């Protein structure tokens, strides 16, 4: 399926009936209430997308994370390239390890990984949200790549969109309004 719009945006335009619940899920997971910051949540989404080698989702969520975490894109790149040595708090690092386990298989989320995250200060809600973000982004990544969507290779394209968006649902509705 080819579209003039890159990534998931073209798929959402193709099937607006599926776009709405998927956007709502993204909105809740990445912008909803919780003790993880939006930047931390976006970093989890970007990290899982990088592990899945989904260019569109990685660049999109890396850009969202970069404008919301200290260290910007340099930190996002460090997490992607070398998580054990990335300068992120131990709690976030433990949550990213859980996200990587989910990316491989939900069954790889062991009691030891959960206990490590708890010892680093993660709450049960934060562990839950991490697992759900990782699982959802495995689905989004496979949706985007499984239908061979386009992905821009210019990181500035994604950074510009990240600075302008009012949220996932708002962006989706704006795109539909423009099309009608």
Give me the average pLDDT of each 10-residue run along the chain (180 residues): 67 83 90 94 97 92 92 97 97 98 97 98 98 97 82 67 58 49
3-state DSSP: the chain helix, strand, coil percent, rounded to 5?
75, 0, 25
Task: Count other Cβ atoms within 10 Å, centred on residue 177.
Answer: 8
Per the listing, tokens 């649902």 go with 169
pLDDT of res. 9: 73
Of the candidates 152, 159, 171, the residue with the CA atom closest to the CA atom of residue 67: 159
CA atoms of 112 and 135, how far apart (whole Å): 19
Q: Is 16 exposed, middle or buried (0-12, 13-18, 19+ CB in 10 A)?
A: middle
Q: Is 166 exposed, middle or buried (0-12, 13-18, 19+ CB in 10 A)?
A: exposed
pLDDT of res. 179: 42
pLDDT of res. 99: 98
CA atoms of 58 and 140, how far apart (whole Å): 11
Q: What is the largest CA-CA distance in the chain?
A: 51
pLDDT of res. 171: 52
pLDDT of res. 176: 44
Per the listing, tokens 């460090």 go with 78
Backbone torsions φ then ψ of 154, nearest 5 degrees: -90, 110
């Amino acid at each position: 399926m080819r579209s003039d719009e890159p990534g998931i945006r073209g798929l959402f335009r193709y099937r607006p009936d599926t776009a709405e619940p998927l956007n709502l899920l993204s909105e809740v997971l990445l912008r909803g209430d919780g003790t993880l910051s939006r930047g931390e949540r976006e970093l989890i989404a970007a990290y899982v997308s990088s592990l899945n080698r989904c260019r569109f989702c990685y660049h999109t969520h890396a850009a969202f994370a970069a404008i919301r975490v200290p260290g910007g894109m340099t930190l996002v790149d460090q997490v992607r390239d070398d998580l054990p040595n990335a300068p992120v708090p131990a709690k976030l690092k433990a949550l990213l390890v859980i996200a990587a386990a989910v990316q491989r298989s939900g069954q790889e989320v062991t009691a030891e990984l959960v206990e490590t995250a708890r010892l680093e200060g993660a709450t049960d809600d934060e562990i839950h949200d991490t697992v759900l973000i990782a699982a959802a982004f495995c689905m989004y990544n496979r949706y985007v790549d499984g239908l061979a969507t386009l992905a821009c290779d210019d990181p500035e394209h994604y950074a510009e969109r990240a600075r302008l968006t009012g949220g996932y649902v708002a962006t989706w509705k704006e795109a539909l309004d423009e099309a009608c």
